[in-house]
Structure 1
Amino acid sequence: MDPRRSAQDVLLCDLCETDPVQNYCELCHTDLCSNCVSKHLSDYSKRHNVVSYFNRKFTPKHAKCLKHTEKDCELYCEECDVPVCTSCLVSGKHKSHDVSDILGKLSSKKQRLQKDLYELENKIYPRYEEMASNAQKGKAETETNYLNLSTAADQHGEILQRQITAFINRRKSDIKEKKNKHLAVLQKHTDEITHKIAEIKRVILKLKNILDSNDISLTFTYRSRNDEFNELPSETKVTMPRLSTPTIKTEKLDEMFGTLSSLSLTTVKPMLVEPRLAGTINTGFDRQGSVSCLNEEQVWTCGNNKIMKLLNLQGKLLASIQTKSGNEPFNIAVTRAGDLVYTDYNDKTVNLVKNNQIETMIRLDGWRPRSICSTSADDLLIIMTSDDERKSIVARYSGYTKKQSIQSDDQGRPLYSSENYPKNISENRNLDVCVADFNANAVVVVNQSGKLRFRYTGHPSNTKKSFHPAGIATDSQGHILTADWDSHRIHILDQDGQFLRYIQNRHFHHPNGLCVDTRDNLFVSEFDTAKVKKIRYR
């Protein structure tokens, strides 16, 4: 059913406020039902022109100027962002300001209202409905799960017979208490969503009334709340208690009956309905390479010369480092200690920048380093290609010492393509090693020991373009984000390789390097424009 045609949206008569609108007085700007027309016309102190509501003409009802009360606000001050009258232009604070015709401004304002209305009805509101439905399902599943726990407690009680009946009752009481706490958390979440849904409905109705009204003041007093509603409420993930299998002993009833684990609550911030472009950094390079977050306000970047730059979100240069060899850095990363590391493909070295001094940590023989990342254990994961470009491996280094090589799957087949094409690397929070292999058209994920977990080769529905993953990053929820070079968008996967969503191409052109800061803000470097874009997606 079209929400615009729901009963709650029926316009009511301005006089009786009970019957639907059928007529309209164009001179008084009054909505009328058929029964109230004669009453309205009986006021002979005013002129009237009552027509069918659907044949009404738009006649602007200008707001009165607050400073010059006898004047209508027929102009709009662009600098102050408020309606003004002609007298305001020659006196007071609006003198010499840029102004425009208010009806032209009204059109652009109403277009913004239409955009808000569309986003609320078609994107934000459905997500809240979905969350409300999931919360209800969660409550039903919780009831079932706790019923299963109670049943298990009864089965244990049958084993121990009547002498532990009292203990069983105490255990069931614990289960009930945890269930009540669990349901209380879910009910609170449901109430919050229901409240937000009610607010969204009111805003939707308000927007429709404004759009159907010719009262200009309503349009200019409206303030969008879409950004507020776009921030979906945090969901609380509750880990179900577990009833352990009892050990039959006569000494302790607790051991005989098994234990009930505690209720675990985890707050998970959902992804935004629509990702937002939160900032753009001009790096000053001709072409942009990789990007790595130093903190939430500063990023290291490198491009098509020998300089690596530390920039803030406004693009201000905070520090710059020239490579030791004078070659272009192939890839950069920031360690747990906040130091910069970079790979030098031509020089076959991995280098550490500490206190503005460059130290060569690793010098390779027969191999060339490509991309690099710092792990949660403060190791370095490095993708290397052999000099003859026939092999590619991932090597793990602890300081100067090589600890691990990852090259083949269980059948001895190469995990990574050998050609001289981009390969980027990141460690997930579950310690998986994730590689975006451009030429293999795949994201290759192995566990900590190097065993293949899965390959992601793009969303099955995307059959028109090849999947060419460039940069790769992971966030605090274990999501894998990879830049799809040709499609100009970001793929977001869960830690098991299931596609979750896109961040679409209206934000990017040839996305290349990726990094995520501690607040899950995504930074994307664009190869052609040499810009780094900050994206809020959570």
Structure 2
Amino acid sequence: GCLKRTFGAKGAVKLNEPLDLTVLNNGNIAFSDHADQDVKVYNCKGQYLRRIKDKTLTNIAGVTSNQKREIIIAGTDQRHLSVHSEDGDLISTLPSDKDTRQNIFEHPYTVAHNPLTGDIIVGDDYKQLVTALSADGQRIMWRFSPSGGRDRHFFPSSICVDSDGYIFIADLYNEKVYMLDSSGKFLKTLLSRGNGLRGGPGAICTDGQGHLLVAD
């Protein structure tokens, strides 16, 4: 738990309001900066590499990456995801059809990638729903919303997937973390207030040793 390094602490490449991050498979780290409405990429030593700015997106939120080092950004207001190369070039938007994306998303807030299936998993806090898209973004693979046992609005604030394909979903307002298998089948409520949590889980991630890290 010792602090080893800080990223974007000062200067022209300062992180003003980092909301989410993803670690690329080459060790580089991409942060979504809500204040600057961009994604900033650093190497593992904390050195700034580049800025990714998509002018078609406003109110960006979550960010993730896949095995090809493509960076996937959740654009809440435009109801879609944008896929960029590591160099920042726009590759595609998901779903590509405007009418389709408006039927799928209302406010895509958080996003994760399943390395086993290629699915792109999106948490929509307005719809109170988690939706998994195929790797090309054209098919809905599964959907999840907790049934029962919650008193408040389902806010999927953070999603992560471990190396075995298990999916973990943080429910900020109901103060729980859910565990699903790769197909989207609910397995159990892993954590809750008084059972591993002190409050609402804002962000979660897994490490290479199989640990689940939770910010609450």
Instruction: Check 1:377–1:436 CA distance in 2 against 1; reply closer, same or farther (3 A cut).
Output: same
Correspondence 1:45-56 to 2 at 5 A: none
Is the aligned partner of 1:380 residue 2:71? yes
Match of 1:336 in 2: 25
State how many pairs are aligned: 204
Matched residue, 1:317: 3
**Match among 447, 456, 471 for residue 144 of structure 2:** 456
Which residue identity lines up with residue 18 of structure 2 in the other structure?
P
- Corresponding residue of 2:154: 467
Q: Any idea what the Cα deviations from partners look like across 1:138-165, whole Å, max 9, x if unmatched?
A: xxxxxxxxxxxxxxxxxxxxxxxxxxxx
1:97 equivalent in structure 2: none
Structure 1 Cα separation of the partners of residues 6 and 186 of structure 2: 38
Q: 1:426 to 1:476 in 2, by over 3 A?
A: same
Which of 346, 350, 364 is residue 35 of structure 2 equivalent to? 346
Change in 2 beyond 3 A, CA 1:378/1:417:
same
**Aligned residue number for residue 406 of structure 1:** 94
**C-alpha distance in 2, partners of 1:503/1:473?**
13
Q: Specify whether residues 364 and 413 from structure 1 end up closer, same or farther in structure 2 by C-alpha distance, changes over 3 A only.
A: closer
User: Where does residue 72 of structure 1 map in the other structure?
Assistant: none
Equivalent in the alignment of 2:165: 478
Q: Which amino acid aligns with 2:41?
A: L
Aligned match of 1:105: none
Alignment of 1:32-181 (within 5 A): none
- How far is 1:410 from its partner? 10
Contact 2:15–2:33 (8 Å) recurs in 1: no
SS of match in other structure, 1:412: helix
Decide whether aligned partners of structure 1 residues 468 and 409 sit closer, same or farther in structure 2, where only a CA change above 3 A counts. Answer: farther
State the alpha-carbon separation in 2 of the partners of residues 396 and 347 from structure 1.
19
Provide the rounded CA distance (Å) in 1 between the counterparts of 2:119 and 2:81: 12
Q: Residues 363 and 413 of structure 1: is their aligned pair in 2 closer, same or farther, counting only changes over 3 Å?
A: closer
Task: Tell me the distance in 1 between the aligned counterparts of 2:168 and 2:120.
Answer: 13
| Rg larger for | 1
The reply to whether residue 423 of structure 1 matches residue 112 of structure 2 is no
Does residue 1:438 correspond to 2:125, yes or no? Answer: yes
The 1:499–1:329 alpha-carbon spacing in structure 2 relative to 1, beyond 3 Å, is same
Contact 1:516–1:522 (Cα < 8 Å) also in 2: yes
Corresponding position of 1:489? 176
Distance 2:172 2:95 in 1: 25
TM-score (norm 2): 0.84
Please list the CA deviations of residues 153-211 of structure 1 after superposition, one character each: whole Å capped at 9, or x if unmatched. xxxxxxxxxxxxxxxxxxxxxxxxxxxxxxxxxxxxxxxxxxxxxxxxxxxxxxxxxxx
Counterparts of 1:507 and 1:317, CA distance in 2: 23
CA RMSD of superposed structures (Å):
2.2
Secondary structure of the structure 2 residue equivalent to 1:317: coil
Q: Aligned equivalents of 1:326 and 1:335: distance in 2?
A: 18
Unaligned runs of 5+ in 2: none
By how many angstroms is 1:473 displaced? Answer: 0.5
Contact 2:151/2:174 (<8 A) preserved: no
- C-alpha distance in 2, partners of 1:485/1:326? 24
Q: Provide the residue aligned with 2:80 in structure 1.
A: 393
Give the structure with the larger helix fraction.
1
Q: Aligned in 2, Cα 1:495/1:409: closer, same or farther, shift over 3 Å? A: farther
Gaps in structure 1 of 5+ consecutive residues:
1-312, 527-538
Q: Which runs of 4+ in 1 moved over 4 A?
A: 408-411
Say whether the 8 Å CA contact 1:384–1:392 is kept in structure 2: yes
Describe the SS at the equivalent of 1:331. strand
Q: 1:410 to 1:333 in 2, by over 3 A?
A: closer
Does structure 2 conserve the Cα–Cα contact (< 8 Å) formed by 1:407 and 1:416?
no
Identify the residue that residue 364 of structure 1 maps to in structure 2: 54
Correspondence for 1:277: none
Amino acid at match of 1:331: D
SS at match of 1:359: strand
1:405 deviates by: 1.0
Q: 1:496 to 1:409 in 2, by over 3 A?
A: farther
CA contact (8 A) 2:79 2:101 kept: no
Q: Distance in 2 between matches of 1:520 and 1:432?
A: 20
Cα 1:463–1:515 shift into 2, 3 Å: closer
Deviation at 1:413, TM superposition (A): 5.0
- The one-letter amino acid of 1:461's match is G
Cα contact 1:349–1:360 (8 A) shared by 2 = no
Greater relative CO, 1 or 2 (CA 8 Å, sep 6+): 2
Letter in 2 for 1:357: Q
TM-score of the pair, normalised by structure 1: 0.36
Q: Which has the higher strand share?
A: 2
